[in-house]
Structure 1
Amino acid sequence: MLSSHLMSEVAQTADRLVVVGRGRLLAETTRRCPSGSRVRSRRVLWEPSRELGFHVLRHTYASVMLEAGESIVSLAMWLGHSDPAFTLRTYTHFMPQAGARGLSAIEAWFTDLG
C-alpha cells in the first residue's frame, strides 16, 4: 500500500500512476506545449529492491519446498534452473535440517549394533 503522503503527492502532481517492468511505480503527467503538442513525462515514485520484488517470492517458494523435504532436482526443474547444482549452491542455506536424516540413520545403526 502507498503511504498517504505519497498518494497526496501523486494526486497533486500526476495525471495517473503507471506500473512498469519489475514493479516500478511511475507518476505520469501529460502537458500541452505552446505549440499544441502533448508532452508526457514520467518520474519514478517507488522502485522495489530485489528483496521486495518477485525474486523474494522465488526464494520463499524454494525454502518452503526444501523445508517440506522436496528434492533439489525437482526444485531445480520447477524454478527453471538448468543445473540442480546451481539450485543446491543457491538454496543450501534454506536447508537447516540437511544431514539430520543421515545423522539419525547412523545413530540408529550404531544403536542397533550395541
Structure 2
Amino acid sequence: MPPHPRWRASKEMQDRARQLRREMTPAEKKLWARLRYNQVDGFQFRRQHAVGRFILDFFCAKAKLAIEVDGDTHAAQTEYDEERTAWLNAQKQYRVIRFANRDVLRNLDVVVEKIREELKK
C-alpha cells in the first residue's frame, strides 16, 4: 500500500531537503560525520529527510528515530517544534530527540552516547 498522501513529502519539500543537505550547519556537519556510514551501532541514518510537511535533520527508519539539532535562535520555534513532534508521534510513531548546536560542537561523544541509548529502546 502506498504511503498516505499527507505523509509523503511534496516535490517542493524534497527540493528544500536537498538544498538543506548542501547547506548544513557546522553542528549538523559534525554530527553527520559520526552518523553516516552506519557508524553508530550499525544503524543507517538519513540527513535532512522530508516527511510530510516537515524536514528532519537526521532520521533512522529502522529505529523510527528523528534527531533535531537546534540553533541558538531556535527557542522562538517552540510551538512549531511541539506541533511537529506531536504529528510525528501520532501519525508515524516516530520518537524525536533534540540537541543544541553547542552540545554537538562541544560534547559530541555525549550526544552520540545519548543517541545510542535511544536506538536501544
TM-score by length of 1: 0.22
* Greater length-normalized contact order (CA 8 Å, ≥ 6 residues apart): 2
Whichever of the two has the greater Rg, that structure is 1
